[in-house]
Amino acid sequence: MSFDTKHKTEVRLVFLGAGGVGKTALIQRFLKDTFEPKHRRTVEELYRKEYEVGGIKVTISIMDTSGSYSFPAMRKLSIQNSDAFALVYAVDDPDSLEAIKRLREEILEVKEDKYTPIVVIGNKIDRHKERRVSSDDVLSTVEVDWNQIFLESSAKDNVNVMEAFRELLQRANLPAQLSPVLCRRRETFPKENKKLPPMNKINSCLLS
């Protein structure tokens, strides 16, 4: 199995969003398939994971950032050095949605590129009774106005976590030689939401 030379063998992802939206929980679910319900404040942590694919070593670095605006220089450095971005908000917290709008503007300003790869993740859909953010409104803003990818997830229930990382890795131009076990379509929303707007779904897989 060979890679196209335009693909990278090392990518850096950064997770941004307000405090308590589940950035660390999503990363831990992806890396270790675990979930810790108790929130622990993050300043900045870097995770690295290596894969061997077709004799090629692929390294994924994931930066977990603080939800505080107290570290602007640290956040700017993370943005400068990253290939793709996850903007995470919680569906039960409208203020966290406003936070990612500001963060997106900061990303575009720092990267000086409106085509910078961004995936917007509405986390905590397991709290459906407390939902205060309309998925339809966010979908329209992200996919129509921003021309970026949007999906909803639950780190707790392991919904759309792998799919979120797959979208990030694809947009970071990582080779898509991936495990058939995780080869499935992204669901923008959970299946119980039957009224979905039409959208282009992508069939591909994620590194195991």
**Average per-residue pLDDT in the chain?**
82
- Nearest Cα to 23, choosing from 14, 15, 31, 34? 15
**What is the model's pLDDT at position 167?**
92
105 token code pair:
């503007």
Beta bridge partners of 85: 14, 118
121's enclosing H/E stretch is strand 118-123
- Nearest Cα to 173, choosing from 139, 208, 204, 142? 204
135 token code pair:
């998925």
Compute how many other C-beta atoms are within 10 angstroms of the C-beta atom of residue 12. 18
Tokens 């220089």 correspond to 73
Task: Report how far residue 142's alpha carbon sits from residue 139's, in angstroms, rounded to the nearest whole number.
Answer: 5
- Nearest Cα to 61, choosing from 77, 75, 82? 82
Q: Is the CB of residue 177 less than 8 Å from the CB of residue 201?
A: no
**For 34-42, what is the mean pLDDT?**
80
- Nearest Cα to 88, choosing from 30, 37, 164? 164
DSSP assignment letter at 185 = P
Give residue-wise pLDDT tens across range 66-91: 877 667 788 888 899 999 999 999 99
DSSP assignment letter at 61 = E
Q: Please give the domain boundaries of the chain with CATH numbers for all domains.
A: 10-182 (3.40.50.300)
The model's confidence at residue 3, banded by pLDDT at 50, 70 and 90, is very low
Residue 140's φ and ψ, nearest 5 degrees, are: -60, -45
Alpha helices in 146-195 (DSSP H): 161-171
Q: Is the CB of residue 88 less than 8 Å from the CB of residue 23?
A: yes
**What is the model's pLDDT at position 40?**
74
Q: Is the pLDDT of residue 201 over 60?
A: no
**What is the model's pLDDT at position 38?**
78
Would the pTM of this model clear 0.85, i.e. be above it? no
Task: Report how far residue 110's alpha carbon sits from residue 79's, in angstroms, rounded to the nearest whole number.
Answer: 7
